[in-house]
Amino acid sequence: MCDKKNIQYFKDIISIPTIVNSSFTNININSNNISISITLSQTDIKNKKNKLYNLDKVILENDSIWSTPFLKEASTLLNSVSPSFRKQITIKETTPNEYIFDILDNDQTIISSFKSNNQIKRILIDDWFGNLSWSPSEDYIVFVGELNKNNNNLGFFNKDSGIDLNNTSIGDQYLYRESWGETYSNVYNPTLFIIDIKNETVFPLETFPNDKITPGQPIWTPCGCGIIFVGWEIDKRKFGLRLCFNRKSSLYHIDFNLYKNNKNQLIKENQQQQQQQQKEQQSSLIITPSPLIIENLIKELGSYRSPRFSPDGNNLVFLGFDEVIYNHNSCSKIFRIPWDKRVEQKKTIVETLFIYRNFNDEFPGIYCSSLPLSPFINNNTIVFSDSVRSIRKLLSFNIDTKQIHIINTNGIIDSKETPCNYFVYQVNSLKKIALCRISSPNQPPSINVLKFNEEGLEITKHLVVYKPKQSDQHANMFSSFKYSIHNVPTLLNAQSLKSFEMIYLKNTSKGKKPTIIFIHGGFQMSVDLEYSFSFAYLVSLGYNIIIPNYRGSTGFGRDFLNSLVGQISQMDVDDCIQALSYSCEKVDPEGIDPDKLCAIGGSHGGSIGAILAALPGFANIKTVILRNPVIDQAAQAMVTDIPDWSMFKCGISIDENKKSYNTAPTIKEIEIMKNLSPIKYIQDINIPVLLLLGENDLRVPPKTQGLLLYNSLKERDQIVKCLMYPSNGHALESIEAKLDQWINISNWLNKYL
C-alpha cells in the first residue's frame, strides 16, 4: 500500500534542481563583468529521466546579476571553455562510438567541426579520469578515452574466406578482459587522445602502453610542449579503481613536441619502406617503433593524484601518498615539483609540503579526492575545500610557507550555530575570486562567487549567483527541521581517541519522534553538512536522523581513520550504539522516542546495520533498511572488485614478499573474516529487514551478500523484503532506483516503525 503523502513530499523534494557543475566562461582583467555557466540536473518523473540544463549568469560592474530568462536543455555531451575564454569546444555523441567536435569562438560561431572517425569507444570525463585540458596555445586539447579497438578475433569455424589461420587472434573471440571494476565495468583500454583544432582531427597518442599503466587527469605543461598525467600501475590483475585512492600510481610526462617530430619521422620512414616494398613486390607487414616516450617523474613508490601547475608555471603541486598503503582512502600529503618551464626539465625533485595529521592535532589532515581544476588564488597559494571533521570547509595553503589556513566564513556567509558546507569548483587568480557551492542539511545548494584578499586568507566579498527557487511547501519543509553537531564520548574512552562526532537532524514539530540512525559506508568515508534530498525527505516526513562519523571515518586524523582496521564489527558498532544512547539521553531526550529506532546503512554501513539488528538488547532497533550490505567478508573477498580491502580491514597482513593479497584466502583468513561479519549473528536477527540491491554491483555482489541475508531470513520465516534494481551498481543511482527506493523506504518505515 502506498501513502499518497509520502509520494507528494518526495515529488516536492526532488523538484529542486541539483547543481552538477559550474565554471567561469568569461573574465576580463579590464572589465568587472564576470560570466558564469551553471549545469543543473532536474528529475523528470513522468518520463523517468534526469535532464541536464544550462543556465548562464553575468555579474555586472555594480554587482547586479543578469541571467538568461530560461533554462536551456543541454544538447551536448560535454563542453569546455578555453583558458583565454576565446574558444569553446562542444562534444556530441551521434551514434555509438562516434563523436562530433565543434569548436566555437566567443561569439558562438562554429569555426571548425569534425568527427572522431570511430576511434573512441567512450570519452572518460569524471572526477577520476579528469577533464578536457586545453594547451596554453589553445591549439590542442588532451583527454582520456576508451580506445575503440577493432575486434578482429574470430572463431575457428568462421566462414569468411580471407581468414589467415596462422593469425593468433583466431579463437580469441571470447577472451576474458579485465575492467577497472565498479562504475568502470566496460573500461578496458583507456588511452590519451589529442584534439588537433587547427587540423580538425582527433587521434590517440600511439602506442600507449595501456597493458602497463592506465592514464588519467591529464594537464599540459606551462609552455605547452608536454603533458603531465596520472598513471595507475597494472600488475598481474586489475583491481577496482573507483574511490580507491591507494592504487599504485605515479605522475608521468610526455614531451608532446618530441612525439610529433618522432611520429612525422616514422610516417616518412614508413612511406619510404612501402615504396621500396612495392618496387620489390613484397607484402610483409611493416612494424615501426612507437614515437611515444613516457617519463616517470616520481621515483618513490606510492599513489599520486590531482596535478596542478601554479599560474607562473614554476610549481607542479599534487596530492597523494609516498608509500604503499592498503587503506582505500587515507590522510594525504601535499607535494611539489619545482618546474623549469623553459627547458621542460628532465630531473625532478619531489618536495613534501604538508604531512599527515592525527586526531589530537589542531588540523586533522587532507582528505579531498582532488584539488579544483585551477586552485591557485596567487602564484603560491591554493584555495580548496575539504572535510574538517564533520564540516567541509574552505582552506588556503601557501606552498612556500607550508601553512594551512581555515578560511573564516562565520558572520560572512554562515554562523557558528548554522555552519554550511563548501565545495570549490574553480579559482581565478586574476580577479582573486572562487566559484563555490554552498549548502547545509536544510538549505539546498547555491552557487556563490567569493572575493579574496591578495594573500587568499580572507573573504572580502560574497555574491549569491544562483539559488534554487523554493515554493511555500519547500519553505515549510526546510523550516521544519534544524541540525547540530555533537561530540560523543567513546564507550571504552580510548586513550587517544576519546570521542567521535555525530550530526543530528531534528524534526522540530512537538512530541517525541521516531528516529533513524544513518550509517555511512566505506568505512573510510564520512558524512558532512552537504544538503541531501534523501535526508530532507525523511525529516519532512517526521523523523529525526542521527548520523555518526564513527571511528574509521575520514576527516578526523590518520590515527582515527586507521583505528578501525582489524576492529570492524566491534568498534564501529560500539560507536553507533553509543550515538543512539547519547542522542536519547543527552542530545534530545524530549524529541526522540527510544522505542521507535531504525537503522539505515549501505555497504559497510549496511554491515553495521545488520549487526545492530541482531543486538536488540543493546541498540533497541525495531527495523533495519540495508542498501547493498556486506554480510560475509570472506565471501566478498573472493568475488568483489576490491578483494584487498576485504582482507585488510579485517586486520589480515600481507606477505612481505608479495605485492598483493592472494586471490584465494587461507582457511585461517576465512575464519578471521567470518568472525568479523554479520553472518556470525545472522540467526539472531528477528526484526523486519528491507534490502535494496543493485543487480550489477561489482563491489558488494548481491548473490553472495544481500541475497545471503535474504534467504537466511526467509528460511526462518522472518519479515524480509528485497528490492533488486536491474542495471544498477553499488550506488543505486539510476533514475528508476532513485524514484522507487525512497518511496519504498518511507512506506516500510510507516509500517514497521
pLDDT in tens, 494-517: 677 999 999 999 999 999 999 999
**What pLDDT does residue 466 have?**
97
User: Strands 689-694 and 621-627, how do they pair?
Assistant: parallel
Does the fold of domain 495-632+677-752 match that of domain 76-153+179-363? no
pLDDT tens-digit series, residues 13-30: 999 999 999 999 999 878
pLDDT at 327 over 60: yes
Mean pLDDT of all residues in 61-70: 92
User: Strands 403-406 and 391-398, how do they pair?
Assistant: antiparallel
Distance CA 672, CA 295 (A): 43
Distance CA 318, CA 302 (A): 13
Task: Lowest mean pLDDT of 262-266, 509-513, 709-713, name the range.
Answer: 262-266
**What pLDDT does residue 515 have?**
99
The reported pTM is 0.94
Mean pLDDT of all residues in 385-396: 98
pLDDT tens-digit series, residues 531-556: 999 999 999 999 999 999 999 999 99
Show the cell assigned to 745: 523506504
pLDDT greater at residue 416 or residue 287: 416
pLDDT tens-digit series, residues 228-262: 999 999 988 999 999 999 999 999 999 999 998 88
Q: How far apart are the first and last CA of the chain?
A: 16
**What pLDDT does residue 494 have?**
66
Domain boundaries, the chain: 76-153+179-363, 495-632+677-752
**What pLDDT does residue 284 have?**
36
pLDDT greater at residue 4 or residue 729: 729
Phi, then psi, of 426 in degrees rounded to 5: -155, 150
Distance CA 168, CA 152 (A): 10
Q: Three-state SS for 674?
A: helix
pLDDT at 443 over 90: yes
| Band of pLDDT at residue 745, cut at 50, 70 and 90 | very high
Count other Cβ atoms within 10 Å, centred on residue 228: 23
What beta strand segments (E) does 74-132 contain? Answer: 78-81, 87-95, 98-105, 110-115, 120-123
| Band of pLDDT at residue 1, cut at 50, 70 and 90 | low
User: Strands 351-354 and 333-338, how do they pair?
Assistant: antiparallel
Count other Cβ atoms within 10 Å, centred on residue 265: 12
- Of 85, 107, 89, 106, nearest to 24 by C-alpha is 85
Q: What is the dihedral of CA 394, 399, 402, 404, to 10 degrees?
A: 0
State the chain's mean pLDDT as an integer. 92
Residue 363: cis peptide before it, omega within 30 degrees of 0: no
Burial of 371 (0-12, 13-18, 19+ CB in 10 A): buried
Phi, then psi, of 237 in degrees rounded to 5: -155, 165
Show the cell assigned to 354: 604538508
**What pLDDT does residue 655 have?**
81
Mean pLDDT of all residues in 153-178: 70
- Of 569, 626, 633, nearest to 602 by C-alpha is 626
Distance CA 117, CA 125 (A): 19
Percent of the chain with pLDDT over 70: 93
User: Strands 213-220 and 226-233, how do they pair?
Assistant: antiparallel
pLDDT at 156 over 80: no
Distance CA 246, CA 524 (A): 12
- Of 687, 559, 679, 592, nearest to 631 by C-alpha is 679
| Band of pLDDT at residue 166, cut at 50, 70 and 90 | low
Q: Three-state SS for 748?
A: helix
Instruction: Provide the 8-state DSSP code for 640.
Output: S
DSSP calls for 284-321: PPP-------EEE---S-SEEEEEEE-TTS-EEEEEEE
76-153+179-363 belongs to CATH 2.130.10: yes
pLDDT at 32 over 50: yes
For the domain made up of 495-632+677-752, give the CATH fold: Rossmann fold (3.40.50)
Name every residue whose Cβ is closer than 8 Å to that of residue 283 and which is 6 or more positions away in sequence: 277
pLDDT at 161 over 60: no
